[in-house]
């Protein structure tokens, strides 16, 4: 039967908070970096323990369910500030959980909380992976910069999506101050609309859709972990031949991030002829930053509404490309690769797409017409590419650090073809260098063909053509190798 300690009772109208909070941004909970610490001065607790958190309105403790002894209560001594709202929700709804932890000098250090089989409660989201999802999201969150206010309200949760109003409601309550303030207030307003019977069905549907999209994004602060400069340089050398000025500018950006732990105020604008590898530079930077990336092709965007979304007053309203990019990535920190920025001024709709980009690039926040909320953009790093500098407006140009790439010389094209493009295609197609031999005069024949063409994209296509032809010859004629000399190259690439 339950054991009651009457010596520690307090008046009914007075709650007892037994714990202190601590700041943590650890993404993995362990016994050394626990979620919470529970008192074990009277007895040591088992590695796995079942029970419930008590209603925090009365006392902040955990009731252990022990065979033959009933429920035994122990106070919570410490708790990661990110989990305060979750603890309150678990206690108020009397949700059965299983704790995993270790007895340490500080107390019983809990590093995992899982839900037990749900027994007839009305919180449906607690039985569909919600708790696992919530734990992962809170561990991935940064600690709030200030204390949470009282009135703010082995399993994997990767495939949990917040779609039902119940799970969205629970998430908003449990996330607490780990959500940005403006998004938390926006979510409460939209939740009221989604639950209201005084608005149309269409309005409720739009509110629920917007909530689901917004709450499934991991909203991070603008703190960036240090980046290994040696690894960054290795990636640049592996992806790009030459381009020392570009590599230098990227490395300067990396060193700046390591010193300030924030992204630079300006993105990169890479200007050069077609086929010089501008997009490849952008992808290399995203790889170095270890961020997801999305691409905005300005040549295909001719109406600002494609970027900003449409108002919910329309039945077929939807978010814009930028908001959908956040939702697709699932995080607010990402690289935006803006291709063909010089085409951004050619709007044919109700405005100029270039003007919309200015708000995204200022890193002050972006407003989507469908979401009706300012989206934090401090974690967005823009990298733009363009062919014609003269076609870019001065306001847009001022938002970037500009890097101009000249076309490759014939000598550089020969090195790129011999050392990078040709070996890369050999490996992809499955031929060894001994089976397909490229002679010096064969290389000269390729370069002569491309002397008046910009970029190296056509070079890579010719490498593909030559190697594919060599493979065909080896397989059909049953020979051991093909020599690509000048005559053979000219015949294949005629």
pLDDT digits (tens, 9 = 90+) for 22-58: 998 888 999 999 999 999 998 999 999 999 998 877 7
* Residue of 347, 351, 341 whose CA lies nearest to 391: 341
Backbone phi and psi for residue 220, each to the nearest 5 degrees, phi listed first = -105, 165
Average pLDDT value for residue range 102-114 = 94
Neighbours of 383 (CB within 10 A): 25
Instruction: Convert the pLDDT of each residue in 372-431 to its tens digit.
Output: 988 888 889 999 999 888 888 888 889 898 888 877 788 888 888 888 889 989 998 989
Domain ranges of the chain: 6-178, 266-404, 410-492
Contact 302, 354 (CB under 8 A): no
Looking at mean pLDDT, say which of 34-38, 143-147, 156-160 comes out highest: 34-38
Residue 363 has pLDDT above 50, yes or no: yes
Are 355 and 313 in contact by the 8 Å Cβ rule? The answer is: no
Q: How high is the pLDDT of residue 7? A: 40
Domains 266-404 and 410-492 equal at CATH topology level: no
Distances (CA, A) of 93 to 12, 53, 337, 465, 472: 19, 9, 45, 66, 69
Res 2 pLDDT > 80: no
Quick one: pLDDT at residue 127? 53
Correct CATH for 266-404 of 3.40.50.300, 2.40.170.20, 3.30.465.10, 2.60.40.10: 3.40.50.300
Q: Give residue 279's pLDDT.
A: 83
Residue 125, pLDDT > 70, answer no
pLDDT > 70 fraction of the chain, expressed in percent and rounded: 90
pLDDT at 304 over 60: yes
Distance CA 382, CA 337 (A): 6
What's the pLDDT band for 207 if we cut at 50, 70, 90?
very high
Q: Lowest mean pLDDT: which of 73-77, 161-165, 194-198, 488-492?
A: 161-165
**CATH classification (class only), 410-492:** mainly alpha
pLDDT of residue 1: 34
Q: What is the mean pLDDT of residues 428-447?
A: 91
CA distances from 109 to 77, 115, 240 (A): 10, 18, 49
């Amino acid at each position: 039967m339950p054991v009651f300690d009457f010596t520690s009772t307090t008046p009914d109208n007075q709650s007892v908070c037994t714990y202190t909070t601590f700041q943590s941004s650890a993404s993995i909970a362990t016994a050394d970096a626990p979620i919470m610490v529970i008192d074990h001065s009277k007895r040591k607790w088992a590695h796995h323990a079942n029970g419930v958190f008590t209603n925090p309105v009365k006392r902040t403790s955990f009731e252990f369910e022990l065979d033959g002894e009933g429920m035994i209560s122990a106070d919570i001594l410490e708790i990661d500030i990110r989990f305060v709202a979750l603890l309150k929700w678990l206690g108020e709804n009397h949700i059965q959980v299983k704790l995993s932890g270790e007895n340490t000098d500080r107390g019983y250090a809990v590093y995992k909380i899982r839900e037990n089989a749900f027994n007839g409660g009305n919180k449906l989201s607690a039985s569909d992976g919600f708790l696992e999802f919530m734990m992962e999201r809170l561990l991935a969150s940064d600690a709030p910069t200030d204390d949470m206010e009282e009135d703010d309200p082995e399993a994997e949760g990767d495939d949990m999506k917040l779609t039902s109003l119940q799970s969205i409601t629970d998430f908003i309550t449990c996330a607490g101050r780990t959500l940005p303030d403006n998004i938390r207030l926006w979510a409460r307003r939209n939740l009221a609309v989604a639950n209201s019977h005084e608005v149309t069905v269409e309005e409720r549907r739009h509110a629920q859709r917007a909530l689901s999209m917004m709450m499934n994004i991991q909203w991070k602060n603008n703190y960036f972990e240090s980046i290994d400069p040696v690894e960054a340089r290795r990636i640049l050398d592996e992806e790009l031949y030459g381009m020392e000025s570009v590599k230098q500018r990227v490395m300067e950006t990396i060193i700046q991030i390591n010193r300030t732990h924030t992204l630079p105020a300006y993105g990169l604008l890479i200007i050069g002829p077609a086929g010089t590898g501008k997009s490849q530079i952008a992808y290399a930077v995203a790889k170095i930053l270890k961020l997801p990336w999305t691409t905005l092709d300005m040549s295909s965007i001719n109406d600002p509404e494609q970027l900003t979304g449409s108002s919910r007053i329309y039945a077929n309203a939807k978010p814009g490309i930028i908001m959908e990019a956040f939702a697709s990535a699932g995080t607010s920190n990402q690289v935006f690769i803006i291709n063909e920025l010089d085409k951004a001024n050619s709007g044919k709709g109700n405005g100029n797409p270039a003007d919309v980009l200015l708000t995204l690039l200022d890193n002050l926040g972006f407003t989507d017409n469908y979401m009706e909320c300012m989206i934090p953009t401090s974690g967005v790093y823009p990298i733009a590419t363009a062919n014609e500098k003269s076609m870019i407006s001065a306001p847009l140009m001022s938002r970037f650090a500009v890097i101009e790439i000249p076309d490759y010389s014939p000598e550089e094209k020969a090195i790129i073809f011999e050392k990078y493009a040709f070996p890369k295609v050999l490996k992809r197609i499955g031929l060894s260098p001994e089976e397909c031999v490229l002679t010096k005069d064969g290389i000269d024949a390729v370069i002569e063909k491309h002397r008046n063409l910009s970029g190296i994209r056509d070079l890579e296509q010719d490498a593909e053509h030559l190697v594919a032809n060599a493979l065909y010859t080896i397989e059909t004629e049953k020979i051991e190798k093909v020599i690509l000399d000048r005559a053979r190259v000219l015949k294949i690439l005629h």
